[in-house]
Structure 1
Amino acid sequence: MATDSGNWRDNILKQLQNRNKNETYCFQDLISQHIRVFENANVLRTENLQLSIQNEKLSCGVGTSGDSGQQERIQQLEKKLLNQADELAELHRRKGENAQQIIDLNVKVLEKDKLLAAKDMSLAENAAKIISLNAEVSLYEKSNQELKYLNDTLRDEHQALQMAFTSLEEKLRKVQDENRQMVERLIKYKAKDADRMNEENDNFLNDGAKHITTVLSTFGLFRKRHAKMQKEIEEACREPREVSPNTFPEGFGPVCQLTVPSKINVKFDAHEGEVNAIKWSPVDRIVATGGADRKVKLWDISKGTYESKGVLVGSNAGVMAVDFDPTGALILGASNDYASRVWTVIDQRLRVSYLKYCKI
């Protein structure tokens, strides 16, 4: 501990000595000149005091003796005293000038210190900026290295994809060649099959001409027989017979007269294609039809004409069967997409106002 205390004291002393040396170096000449002026002033002050004493002594001696030699000596001493006083005044003037120079130099030193402090501050700021810029440069270098690595990786992937694309193009060309060869072979086989089918068709036409003639003659006989039967049924319907009530057994009434429909009441195209199902509504004169166009349609035929009352959609295949519930508010439709759907019909004055369906 004693050694450490001695060290810091020595360091402080050395620092103070260096500071004094650095601060007095610029003014060393001025200080030495100032010291010389003070020394000269002290010497002159001492000489002036001695001359004053001698002058007093001489003045006392002249009053008593009146010697002319001493008067001359006194005059010389007075002249010398005046010269010394002039020199002393000049030294005081030079002392003032030197003091003013010292003050001016101290002001300049303060200004230089302020300028040096500002320079030091700007240097510190620039050093901080340099540090931040070095950090940014390191970050940019790191990001540049990462981008280079990514670029290399992408270049490798691109080369790999280019090679894969080349191999796939080669495979595609081979597959196209094989496909072309297979198409050519298929065309040849098709031509052979067509020739064979043509031969078989010719043989079938030649062999079955007699059979077709026989079938046509049989079909003509069947048509004649069917027309004769229809004519007999119409004549039987036009000639009603009176039946006595006594001819019926007990508990049975007379048989009503039956007539075969002779004309169509209403005919219309319900769907764009085949009509697969039809169902009467149990409540109103509404007919529901289902067709191959994947729709269920509602028709009003109460006035002897047909009028569309709504189209129920939602099926993904042709509707094969339709049916109403006992209230006529629900319609069930079955289609070829392996699903059955229920539509809700709210009927107001034979007008469908709301339709929806749910898949079962």
Structure 2
Amino acid sequence: MTSNEAAVSLGVAREDINWRKDLISQLRERNRSQTNCFADLISLHNRLFENANTLRNSNMQLTIANETLRREAANGGIGMGGNPDLEARLLKQAEELAMLHKRKGEHTQQIVDLNNKLQEMTKELHGKEISLAESSEANTNLRLEITKCLAREKDLEGINQMLKDEHQALQLAFASLEEKLRKTQEENRQLIERLIKYKARDAEKMNEENDNFLSFTSPTTFLMHTLSKFGKRQAKMQKELEDAARDTRPVSPDRLSLKEVAGLPTAVPTKVSVTFSAHEGEVFAVKWSPTDRILATGGTDRKVKLWSINKGK
């Protein structure tokens, strides 16, 4: 059992104990409240029974005394009209007996009323017990749902923590890749600067060689040399065009990404972006740099020039 499962089981045990304590306290409160409601009724009922028993005993004693007096009168030969005290006592006892019967009837009626009221309160108590049972069942179901929600919350917290750890690892990996990209871009910039310097140095050397060649050769030789180079370049361009026309391979994603990085358009342009006054005469050669927006041109003035498309110079 893991620590999370142990914590969940301990929480369930505590919830079960708390539930039992709550149920016991509710039952005690119910008994106390309902006992208080019936306390006066029970006390009155007990007093009525005590009064009825007292009256019954008194009635019994009076009946016994009356019978005793009757027997004494019959045995002694005393007439009913000959002893006024005895008649008065009998009359008084008869009145007390009638009063006792009357009070007994009243007490009996009160007992009946109290019994009816007790039955009504018993029905009400039964209804409240049913309602309490339903509430207890609903409370139990709700506690089970709370336990399930707590377990689900624990699972979601574990998943959330795992996602946070993965996110942190991805952030670290992204920072490392970003640092590598920055270093790579810096190296690429330095290499481009070195390439531009080498290209400029080669262009200066070629211009210097062309100037030297032009100063030491005749115009006819220069013209023949220029036409020969032009013919070779024309043939080379024709061959490159034919090879490009025969090449039906799709463009690779690397080349597409290179074009997007270099900022080159992916379609044939429809308008002029930049215009240069390049050479003193016709231009025979144009070459783009594969790493930056730099253009190299060569013309009839026997010079090679580098142009920056971004800066326009």
Alignment partners' CA distance in 2, 1:131 and 1:177: 68
Residue aligning to 1:198: 207
Q: Does 1:210 align with 2:228?
A: no
From the superposition, tell whether residues 159 and 189 of structure 1 become closer, same or farther in structure 2 (CA, over 3 Å): same
Alignment partners' CA distance in 2, 1:169 and 1:71: 137
Alignment partners' CA distance in 2, 1:106 and 1:125: 28
Task: Decide which structure has greater strand share.
Answer: 1
Q: Does 1:42 align with 2:60?
A: yes
Q: CA deviation at 1:129?
A: 1.8
From the superposition, tell whether residues 214 and 135 of structure 1 become closer, same or farther in structure 2 (CA, over 3 Å): closer
| Structure 2: tracts of 5 or more residues without a match | 1-37, 227-240, 250-313
- What whole-Å deviation, never above 9, does each CA across 1:120-178 have from its counterpart, x for those lacking one? 11211211121122122112212222222222122212221221222122212211221
Residue aligning to 1:233: none
Q: Does 1:117 align with 2:126?
A: yes
From the superposition, tell whether residues 213 and 117 of structure 1 become closer, same or farther in structure 2 (CA, over 3 Å): closer
- What whole-Å deviation, never above 9, does each CA across 1:84-129 have from its counterpart, x for those lacking one? 1011011101111111121122122112212211221121121112
Q: Tell me which moved more, 173-182 or 49-58.
A: 49-58
Q: What's the secondary structure of 2:150's corresponding residue?
A: helix
Which entry has the higher C-alpha Rg, 1 or 2?
1
CA RMSD in angstroms comes to: 3.4
Q: What's the secondary structure of 2:248's corresponding residue?
A: coil
Q: Does 1:173 align with 2:189?
A: no
User: Which of these residues, 164, 167, 171, is aligned with residue 155 of structure 1?
Assistant: 164
The number of residue pairs the alignment matches comes to 193
Alignment partners' CA distance in 1, 2:155 and 2:225: 90
User: Which of these residues, 60, 80, 94, is aligned with residue 85 of structure 1?
Assistant: 94
Residue aligning to 1:188: 197
Q: Does 1:337 align with 2:248?
A: yes
Residue aligning to 1:32: 50
Q: What's the secondary structure of 1:185's corresponding residue?
A: helix
| Structure 1: tracts of 5 or more residues without a match | 1-21, 63-69, 217-291, 293-316, 319-334, 339-360
Q: CA deviation at 1:25?
A: 7.0
From the superposition, tell whether residues 133 and 187 of structure 1 become closer, same or farther in structure 2 (CA, over 3 Å): same
The alignment's TM-score, normalised by the length of structure 2, stands at 0.53
From the superposition, tell whether residues 113 and 135 of structure 1 become closer, same or farther in structure 2 (CA, over 3 Å): same
Q: CA deviation at 1:204?
A: 5.1
The alignment's TM-score, normalised by the length of structure 1, stands at 0.46
Task: Decide which structure has greater helix share.
Answer: 2
User: Which of these residues, 146, 155, 159, is aligned with residue 137 of structure 1?
Assistant: 146
The one-letter code sitting in structure 2 at the alignment partner of 1:122 is S
Asked if structure 1 preserves the Cα contact closer than 8 Å seen for 2:214 and 2:222, the reply is no
More RCO (CA 8 Å, sep 6+): 2
